Amino acid sequence: MASGVLSREPRSANGKITLNIRRVLIYAVLIILTLMCLFPIWILLVNMTRSHGDISTSFSLWFGTYLVQNTKNAMAQSNIKIAQSLLNSLFISFFSSVLCVYFSALTAYAIHIYNFKGKEIVFNFILLIMMIPTQVSALGFIQMVTGWETAMNVRNQFWPLILPSISSPITFFFMKQYMESTLPFEMVEAGRVDGANELRIFHTLVLPIMLPALAVQFIFSFVSSWNNLFVPSMLLNGDITRETIPMVIAKFTDSSNPINFDLGQVYVAMGYAVLPPIIVYLIFSRFIIKGMTAGAVKG
């Protein structure tokens, strides 16, 4: 008995040592990956505080003293309105994201709860649209909107950039999968028995359950709309007060005119451009793991 106990102790100790080594290696890899992800952001913040000459001639990991001057120079550009472009992007991205998550959830609720003829055809058609590249559909949309320009005055208007977000097959698919794992049909039936209409059931019973998924998709939709350059550059041209922040950054990064090209201003513009998505992410980040996990696992 004693020899058996003694023979098992070394194996147990060796197992603990192996487990600790694995943990150290895993944490080391995670720390390295984290630093690799944060390093570009750190360089961006550092270069926001350095002059054009310093950025062009040397590399630094610590902050300089030109943040205020770079900001003043960027704001003083006559053909660029950074503050206005930030507000424009915030307006477009916010309302696009709200419409996207709301109507995607509403569509997913209808497909998930109701049984009607052609239900599978409609669902598969939406999935088929999801396979079409965004650039292909964007070209057709721009051509259509351009044809409406005279009749509907769509040039330099925000609504052509906001309303199409109602149709988002990817967001719909995520909402549909999330409902299948978290929304019991009995809850909807209970609401109907209590006399609630379908819209009230959706707003008071379904949306609270869908809150994690709504938050996750709001982040994704917001970042996608915030970074969109192609479509706004086609529809918002000729008026600098209507430009979005990606369009402004494109102007800053245009090095065709070396006299006006200033890397300090470029980094300042990019630094201010990444702040709103980071703030949105920090507000809704606590829902990401919960929402992704619940939406991906049935049961």
Q: Are residues 36 and 95 in the same domain?
A: no
Mention every residue, 6+ apart, whose C-beta is less than 8 A from residue 19. Answer: none
Three-state DSSP state, 54: helix
* pLDDT at residue 265, rounded to an integer: 87
**Residue pair 88/244 in contact by the 8 Å Cβ criterion:** yes
Q: Are residues 79 and 24 in the same domain?
A: no
* pLDDT at residue 153, rounded to an integer: 67
Q: Are residues 37 and 77 in the same domain?
A: no
**Residue pair 211/175 in contact by the 8 Å Cβ criterion:** no
CA 245 to chain centroid, in Å, comes to 15
pLDDT tens string, the chain, 299 residues long: the values are 444 444 444 556 777 888 889 999 999 999 999 999 999 999 999 999 998 888 888 888 888 888 888 888 888 877 788 888 999 999 999 999 999 999 999 999 989 888 888 888 888 888 888 887 777 777 777 777 777 666 566 777 888 888 888 888 899 999 998 888 888 888 888 888 888 888 888 988 888 888 888 988 999 999 999 998 888 888 887 778 888 999 888 887 765 555 567 888 889 989 989 989 988 888 887 776 655 554 444 44
Q: Are residues 81 and 170 in the same domain?
A: yes
Domains identified in the chain, total number: 2
Q: Are residues 265 and 200 in the same domain?
A: yes
The answer as to whether 152 is a domain residue is yes
Mention every residue, 6+ apart, whose C-beta is less than 8 A from residue 45. Answer: 63, 271
CATH of the domain at 270: 1.10.3720.10
**Residue range of the domain that includes 44:** 2-48
Q: Are residues 6 and 130 in the same domain?
A: no
**Residue pair 105/214 in contact by the 8 Å Cβ criterion:** yes
The answer as to whether 64 is a domain residue is no
* pLDDT at residue 103, rounded to an integer: 94
Q: Are residues 26 and 137 in the same domain?
A: no
The answer as to whether 227 is a domain residue is yes
Q: Are residues 199 and 118 in the same domain?
A: yes
